[in-house]
Amino acid sequence: MADKGDSCPVMTFPLAPKIQHELKMKFGSFDKGLVAVGQGRYLLQPHCRLYLDKYAQFRFRPDDVVVMGFPRSGTTWTQEMVWCMTHDLDFTTAINTPLRERSPFLEGDSFSGPDLPLPSFLVDSFLKQHPDEDPRTTGVYLARAESHPSPRIIKTHLPFSLLPPSILESCKVINVARHPGDVCVSYYHYQRLAKSVSFKGDLEEFLDLWCRDLVMRGPYWSHLSEAWAKHTHPNLLWLYYEDMNKDPLRELQRLDHFLATDLTEDEQLQVVQHSSFANMKARPATNYSLIPESPALVPGEAEFVRKGATGDWVNRFTPQMKAKFQLMMGVVLELSGAIFNLLSTQVFNVLR
């Protein structure tokens, strides 16, 4: 039976006991299982129920820029570029202040495990503003997003259906998409790295869950199709990870036009250099794996900013894995071809 609390207008649905058992066995931090959320049946941890109504009612400001996309699609990269472009190219602050402090993560409260320690900078800030409230119940990430000074660069991995219906009338949104094979590989490494997930299996096991829409934040395809359905809206800009990798200056110029930041060519080149993969990987401000004894990350796993490659999924999948992946792709395209046939072929033409 669907669960709909008085304070949560978004429907949540329990998973089958057999599926819950499988997920608890393969993910070290899913001891309470997952729930399916909304019509897209997006998988989140059960404590998300505390915040779903708040996400759906969040008040965006006219000068907000929301960077969204499925995890590991290039949102961190885009955040860094957009923050610098909208903050007078303040590279000194960008280099010395973690991106997570400069750019609020809207649903971080439901993404982080309920038993893991919260970032101290968020808790300290929250208690100063809300001394009589429980950081867990109210949400420290949400409070940070609400109180953050303008212009806010807000990151979210939520799909449009879990955000306010008026979001595109309220502010500008950038959706970042990436080849599903590369997303799967990168997400696998992140799911092993994040203590809030702690995946225990190998890539083949993760791909099996991916193809069955049993990874947290999935289904990938529902998330993507919701964004594509709005791709003609003037306040929505689509970026492709592959295009950003191939010609970062061209894509930054598209961002400059969309954001109306009016950067000179020299300033654009400065942002490209600052946000290059090598520089972002070398800085603790963007590569959180470089922060000593990070409480959110598992030691010994691949770094938060890992490889930055395009097309590497081909090298990582065995022939059997490729066959499974392409079979899943075939089903998706058959069911949703009208949507995905319109998408960039360089990103999604994986069946040839």
Number of Cβ within 10 Å of residue 317's Cβ equals 20
Verify whether residue 157 is a known catalytic residue.
yes
Contacting residues for 42 by C-beta, under 8 A, at least 6 apart: 36, 159, 162, 217, 218, 219, 222, 223
Structure tokens at 48: 């998300």
CA dihedral sign, ordered 248, 249, 253, 255:
positive
> Alpha carbon 26 to chain centroid distance?
22
Q: Which of 148, 157, 179, 189 is catalytic?
A: 157
Query: What phi, psi does 83 have (nearest 5°)?
Result: -60, -50
- Could you give the CA distance from residue 210 to residue 44 in angstroms, rounded to a whole number? 14
Q: Cis peptide before 131, with omega less than 30 degrees from 0?
A: no
- Could you give the CA distance from residue 107 to residue 141 in angstroms, rounded to a whole number? 7
- Could you give the CA distance from residue 216 to residue 210 in angstroms, rounded to a whole number? 9
- Which residues does residue 35 pair with via DSSP β-bridges, in sequence order? 14, 44
Contact call for residues 204 and 32 (beta carbons, < 8 A): no
Write out the catalytic residue numbers: 157
